[in-house]
Amino acid sequence: MAAGSGNAGLPRHVAVIMDGNGRWATMRHLPRKAGHIAGVAAVRKVVRAACKIGLENLTLYAFSSENWKRPATEVGALMGLFRLYFQQDVSELRDLGVRMRIIGSRTRVDPDIRTMIEESELSTAHNSGLNLIFAFDYGGKEEIAAAARELARAAAEGRLDPETITPEMLNSRLFTAGLPEPDLIIRTSGERRLSNFLLWQAAYAEFLFVDTLWPDFGEAEFRAALDQFSHRERRFGALPDAKA
């Protein structure tokens, strides 16, 4: 069934590595900030499309823990855009029934951004539409290490027998606890790597790498990606029914 025709055939959770803002700007002889501004416009298009389609969960890789290594001017511009997005878009998202969640570290961002994150989550907490997750100051290895530390601490304090640790126990201590694992991970711009994104959660995800740069990725491209997913056979390590 084609994506967008009700919920049949839709993945429960789509995650997107939004890549290509800088190249988009360079191709147009514009500063990199212009690419990031265009990227925010693409976020709006895809989020609105996800709401229209009836998607349950959408995770967007907004800022990685490694992005702090970029030039201070670019990091500052990205933080400014993040502030602007929260100031301008949260009320619309709330009206659309979107429930917001931000995963990642909150210790390295400025206090006002941390406040915006907390307020956006609180003000949309009772919505029942799309779960919109922003991975912000997020790193998959850092996330897994933090979950492992929590289990190790519990074992050291005698609250947990190390021999009883299961994948489910670690999973419950990740930032994404309570969310279904992503069924589909899309990366734009032609790059073919995860870049430290949802490393644990991606174990059985389908991957789709598209050449489109993120600022040019809109509703049509999103629907096309979902349509491709609907034609894939997912086995989760098993054989197809006909060969079982």
Any idea which residues carry the catalytic annotation? 19, 67
Single-letter amino acid code for the residue at 136: F
**What span, in angstroms and rounded, lies between the C-alpha atoms of 21 and 95?**
28
Question: What gap in Å lies between CA 132 and CA 135, rounded to an integer?
Answer: 10
What φ, ψ does residue 151 adopt, rounded to 5°? -65, -40
